[in-house]
Amino acid sequence: MVHESRRVVLKDYSVGNRTLRLLGLLLLGRERGAYQRLAGLAGIPECVGQLDRYALLVEYVDGVPASEAPLELLTPAFFERLEGLIAAMHARGVVHGDLKRLDNILVTPAGDPALIDFSAAFWHGSNPIAALVFGFLWDDDIRAIYKLKSRRVPELLTGSERAFLQRRSLVERWFRWVREYFRRPVQRLAGSELEDTISRL
């Protein structure tokens, strides 16, 4: 999509029933807040603005998902830059929360990393839940780096990274249990169209 002579991605949460739209507002608010805190950070798309209360415009990033990128681009230098980008994001008090979906990590034509889709993000003080899950999501962001290595270039995975990848904390197990416990009732309430949206919470 082109908006004012620049390529953008439209994030539209207006489709669906009332429950889905309310969840859309929650996701949009989290995404907009994350972009505001990460403004100017290389590798993070710019939030261009909102068309209305349900629609967000985000800068288009020219890149290929890391899960599909040519292996010659997934070099040790790329992973160093990816670790640096995630560290810079964390330094601004933001956790992505959904980097386990490796399609949210892009490789640009120049071989640099970029992170997209912050609808599952939390930041310090964003809401009471953030304090409970922040540490888990911080680790989950880092675990995504090692997950990408394990799947695409396992020869680059170190022993300590493999151990970190395999470790699952009690907090993570609790968080996943709560998410699964509430997912099905909400889906029945709002309809099957919620499946993908709820999986991002």
Residuewise pLDDT in 10s, the chain (201 residues):
766 678 899 988 887 778 888 888 888 888 999 999 999 999 999 999 888 888 999 999 999 999 999 999 999 999 999 999 999 999 999 999 899 899 999 999 999 999 999 988 998 877 777 777 788 889 999 999 999 999 999 999 999 999 998 886 555 666 666 555 544 544 444 344 333 433 444
191 Cβ contact list (under 8 Å, min separation 6): 16, 17, 20
Give me the pLDDT at residue 6, please.
Answer: 81
Closest Cα to residue 147, out of 166, 134, 121, 128? 166
Phi, then psi, of 183 in degrees rounded to 5: -65, -50
Specify the 3-state DSSP secondary structure of 31: helix
Whole-angstrom Cα distance, residue 17 to residue 186? 12
Burial annotation 41-73 (CB, 10 A radius, 16+ → b, else e): bebbbbbbeeeeeeebbbbbbebeebbebeeeb
Nearest in space to 24 (alpha carbons), one of 33, 16, 13, 15: 13
Q: At which residue do the structure tokens 């953008």 appear?
A: 8
**Residue 6 is encoded by which pair of tokens?**
């620049």
The predicted pLDDT at position 21 comes to: 84
The DSSP H or E segment spanning 78 is helix 76-91
- Domain 2-198, what architecture? Orthogonal Bundle (1.10)
Parse the chain into domains and list their residue ranges.
2-198
Amino acid making up residue 13: Y
CA angle, 192 then 193 then 199, to 5°: 90
